[in-house]
Structures are given as C-alpha cells and as structure tokens.
Chain A
Amino acid sequence: AQTVTQSQPEMSVQEAETVTLSCTYDTSESNYYLFWYKQPPSRQMILVIRQEAYKQQNATENRFSVNFQKAAKSFSLKISDSQLGDTAMYFCALPRAGGTSYGKLTFGQGTILTVHP
C-alpha cells in the first residue's frame, strides 16, 4: 500500500534560521512526482515545491529546496532564512500509484511549523 509518513508533528525555528522537515514514502511506481504543500492558518493549501523522481537534481524554489533521496524514499523540505509568514502546516504528498502524475494525492500527517521572531 502506498504510504506517506511525516514523523515530526511539530517544529519551531527562529526567524532567519534554517529548518528541515522530513518525509518518507513508499510507492510501487518508478517515476512519479512528489509535492510539498503548506496550509497557513487561513487554511488555503498552497503548492510549495515539486520534484520529479527521475530527475537527480533537487528542486529549488527561492528559499525552499528539497533533499530527494530516491533509494531511501526520502523527500525532505529545507526552508532557508525562515520568515514569520512561513508559519503553517506543511504536508508531503504523493500521487496514487497507477494514476496520472498529478492525480489523486496521498498526504502525510502534516508538520506544524512555527517561526518565532
């Protein structure tokens, strides 16, 4: 069965510091996408970053980057120069096996990140 696991229920970081959120997964697919979404208290789900499994280069979007380890099935999110606006719940997500690249998503349990001034 396809699984997505986030083992850190809560994390905190000081403003301007760097924090890494962990995610491990299991899938039978050989090529797939992985996603990180954030959900601020306003509750809107926002796509932060995506990684295609066949690409060896780790994805980067401004202050957000990933450490993708395909063999270990690990997909961590690094946030550099943390800002107060980064305070949110972060979800790792994986499309369901056998579907389309952007189809039905399986989400991890989420990590609540709090950025302190």
Chain B
Amino acid sequence: SAVISQKPSRDICQRGTSLTIQCQVDSQVTMMFWYRQQPGQSLTLIATANQGSEATYESGFVIDKFPISRPNLTFSTLTVSNMSPEDSSIYLCSVAGYNQPQHFGDGTRLSIL
C-alpha cells in the first residue's frame, strides 16, 4: 500500500490564526480525502481533494474555512483558517484507488488555545 506522510504531526495554535497541513504520498493515487476526528469521536469527511480543480466539500464544511489544494496526484494540503477552540481535532488525510482501499496518514493533532 501507499506510504503517506502527513505534516505536522501536531501543533498548538492561537485562535484566529491559520494552519496548513500537508499530505504527501509516495505514488500516484486516484482519490485523496480529508477527515476530521473530534476528541473521542468518529471520523467525519471534510472534503474530497480533486487534482487540478476545486475540492468537493461535505455538508457543514466550506471552502473559506477549510481551503484545500491538490496540485498533482501525490500531494494535497488542508488549511484550517481563522481557528477557534472548536477546531481542536485530529485531521487525517487518506488515499484510495479504484482497486485500492483507503489508507490513512498518521494524522495531525491540532490544539487551539
């Protein structure tokens, strides 16, 4: 399976600031996703990162708050903008192919003060 590198692994940020999380894959993949996992909770899909075009957002998530880029088939970024304590979560990227089930990066643990 693909090797996924997600950075940073954790960060502590001040409210009102923004943080960009990177997801790098060691091979070209068809699909890339971003999930949020609030403390003690399950995973919720934020958006599908589309190569060369705007991401597809799920209900409750908007581009202004969570801008996503995917310039090629191996790299994507998620930015958490204008952060508040409610954004404290683990953010995970995942990759999949038409014959490859989803595999996840190690996640980014984000705490907002």
Contact = CB atoms under 8 A, between A and B. Distances in A.
B58 to A, nearest CB: 8
B45 A44 contact: no
B42 A43 contact: no
Contacts of B44: 107
Nearest to B97: A102
Interface residues of B, number: 24
Among B42, B103, B105, max chain A CB count under 10 A is at: B42
B107 A33 contact: no
Contacts, number: 54
Interface band, chain A: 20 to 34
A50 B101 CA distance: 9
A104 B45 contact: yes
A101 interface: yes
B42 A100 contact: no
5 closest residue pairs by CB, A with B: A45-B104, A102-B96, A107-B42, A43-B107, A107-B43
Interface of A: 33, 35, 37, 42-47, 50, 91, 100-105, 107-110
